[in-house]
Amino acid sequence: MTTNFNAGAVFALIAGLGMSGVVTGDFYGLDWEFIHEGDQGSTVRLYAMMESGGRLDLVGGNSFQNLEISSPEGFYQNNLGGPTSRQINSNFFPFVPSLEWDSYVTIGALYQDGTPFGENGLNDVGLDWSTFENGGDLVADSGSWFVGLDHQQGEAQFVNGIGGYGVLIAQLTVSYPQVLFSGILQGQNADGEAWQVALSDYLIGDLNPPAPGALAVLAIAGFAGPRRRRG
């Protein structure tokens, strides 16, 4: 699928964002929804939460604010999956059920076919996926994944399991119940005004099956622990 979105132009917008980015009234923070518990671990979906009518266009990192998604014991990765939702073919789920719990990033759309939007216009630039695809951390100081401004999948949807509006940015399956996120998010509010935010060391904790709608988003300084890459 092609897109009218200019990757170089959009990433240039975040290149000047410094380390002191602030959360605006248009962006409420990160939250997660528990999806599945199985042999592969605990599967959660990570959302960027915002006002109704808002949208998310880009997730990335630069030299001022690195991108990092990590967990102490790594992420489950299926050999038939891929690093983004563009590589997740849901037609294979009946034949390889574990593929459904692959770890990947996205904006809005769950799978290659764009579910629930009908198409998937996700693109990425400047990211080395090799460590992440081997079960390790995703870390970058220059790169992003993004969608064009004309793609519906960037629009905030009501997330029943959370009780608010958000845009899906990742599905992650972990054996240790913590995920760390750092990076830059860029989008628009309901009035079409652009916003940007730099998040550093946001720890998403207690990812074992929670009570419905439980919130466990903490902003902390520092995160350490042994990390095991899972194949």
CATH, domain range 23-219: 2.60.40
Dist CA 162 CA 41 (whole Å):
21
Render pLDDT for 39-93 as a digit per residue (tens, 0 to 9).
999 999 999 999 999 999 999 999 999 999 999 999 999 999 999 999 999 999 9
Dist CA 35 CA 20 (whole Å):
33
Render pLDDT for 98-133 as a digit per residue (tens, 0 to 9).
999 999 999 999 999 999 999 999 999 999 999 999
- Assign 204 a pLDDT band (cuts: 50, 70, 90): confident
| Cβ neighbours around 4 below 10 Å, total | 9
Across the chain, mean pLDDT equals 83
Q: Please tell me the predicted confidence (pLDDT) of residue 59.
A: 98
Q: Please tell me the predicted confidence (pLDDT) of residue 207.
A: 56
| Cβ neighbours around 16 below 10 Å, total | 9
